[in-house]
């Protein structure tokens, strides 16, 4: 399996469209339906496009899911993902919803919350999760995942595999204050998102850039692949590639060094072939 990586510097403009490749290698430019923005698309083995998009106020909006089968002319009627209205956010390009396809057609969505909720006596911004059962007509009620979400800002992603494992990944403050001490957290489910184990923290050289996004997928060897941007001593914003094995062992590779004493609000894209 080959992993393909792309580095993208985010701008203040959200693209309201997605690009797909047809079976005969023609490229089709498709507008996001219903005036949605920040589209996230995945395609299943049958050629069906599964699309997630945002609508509403940037600081308090909603996520919607549609699908379009191969050769269909139109997308399906939209389903709202978040059961609590206004709990999604689209301020910047790094905080929007992410979608993944799981076993037997499960649809998994994760996103940064738009406002704090009270948990264990503290008010913290949650990392939300919701799923759609195969053939389902409504998403299950959204759930906050994990407890270590202090200073959750740019970055939350979801990955799933054909064996029923689902990973929710985000970065947030560690035990010590400061971006160089931020950690990546991973909460994993072994039953298609029914229940999640307590999150695990991964300590990295350089922490994580607080307002930069991250990207994740599960490869053919059941390894979790994570792209993120470091924030070493507030001077370095290196692009990093973290691999987490099935037993939890991790290795990190520096893809691109970058000296920059500021937050660049970057995003990542990754796909496996």
Q: Could you read off the pLDDT of 214-235 as tens digits, one per residue?
A: 999 999 999 999 999 988 766 7
Residue 18: its pLDDT value, please? 56
In tens, the pLDDT along 94-136 reads 788 999 999 999 999 999 999 999 877 788 999 999 999 999 9
What pLDDT sits at residue 102? 96
Confidence of residue 23 (pLDDT cuts 50, 70, 90): low
What per-residue confidence (pLDDT) applies to 129?
98
Proportion of the chain above pLDDT 90, given as a percent? 58
259/254 Cα distance (integer angstroms) = 13
**Contact assessment for residue 169 and residue 148, using Cβ atoms and an 8 Å cutoff:** no
Tens-digit pLDDT profile for residues 8-21 = 333 222 334 555 55
Q: Which tokens is 107 given?
A: 């649809």
Q: What is the DSSP letter of 232?
A: B
Q: Which of 99, 127, 105, 126 is nearest to 215 (CA)?
A: 99
**pTM, rounded to two decimals:** 0.88
Nearest Cα to Cα of residue 37 among 95, 108, 113: 95
Residue, of 26 and 258, whose pLDDT is higher? 258
What pLDDT digit, counting tens, does each position of 179-201 carry? 888 899 999 999 999 999 999 99
Please report the pLDDT score of residue 14 as a whole number: 32
Question: Is a pLDDT exceeding 70 seen at residue 153?
Answer: yes
Which residue in 172, 189, 24 sits closest to 95, CA to CA? Answer: 172
Compute the 3-state secondary structure of the chain and give helix, strand, coil in percent, each to the nearest 5: 5, 45, 50
Single out the residue of 250, 247, 204, 196 nearest to residue 228, CA to CA.
204
Structure tokens at 144: 């906050």
Coil, strand or helix: which one is 119?
strand
Q: Give the tens place of pLDDT for each residue, 33-74.
A: 999 999 999 999 999 999 999 999 999 999 999 999 988 989
Pairwise pLDDT comparison (262 vs 83), residue with the higher score: 83
């Amino acid at each position: 399996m080959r992993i393909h990586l792309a580095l993208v510097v985010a701008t203040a403009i959200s693209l309201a469209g997605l690009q797909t490749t047809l079976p005969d290698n023609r490229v089709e430019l498709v507008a996001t339906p219903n005036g949605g923005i920040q589209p996230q698309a995945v395609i299943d083995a049958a050629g069906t496009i599964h699309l997630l998009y945002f609508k509403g106020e940037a600081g308090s909006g909603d996520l919607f899911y549609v699908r379009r089968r191969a050769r269909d002319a139109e997308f399906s009627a939209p389903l709202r993902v978040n059961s609590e209205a206004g709990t999604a956010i689209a301020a910047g390009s790094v905080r929007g919803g992410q979608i993944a396809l799981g076993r037997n057609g499960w649809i998994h969505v994760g996103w940064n919350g738009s406002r704090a909720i009270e948990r264990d006596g503290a008010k913290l911004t949650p990392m939300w999760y919701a799923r759609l059962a195969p053939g389902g007509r409504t998403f299950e009620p959204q759930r906050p995942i994990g407890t270590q979400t202090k200073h959750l800002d740019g970055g939350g992603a979801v990955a799933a595999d054909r064996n029923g494992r689902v990973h929710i990944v985000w970065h947030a403050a560690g035990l010590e204050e400061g971006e160089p001490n931020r950690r990546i957290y991973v909460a994993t489910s072994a039953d298609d998102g029914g229940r999640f184990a307590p999150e695990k923290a991964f300590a990295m050289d350089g922490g994580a850039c607080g307002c930069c996004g991250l990207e994740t997928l599960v490869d053919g060897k059941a390894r979790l692949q994570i792209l993120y941007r470091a924030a070493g001593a507030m001077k370095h914003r290196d692009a990093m590639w973290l691999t987490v094995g099935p037993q939890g062992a991790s290795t990190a590779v520096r893809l691109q060094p970058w000296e920059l004493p500021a937050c660049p609000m970057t995003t990542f894209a990754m796909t496996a072939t």
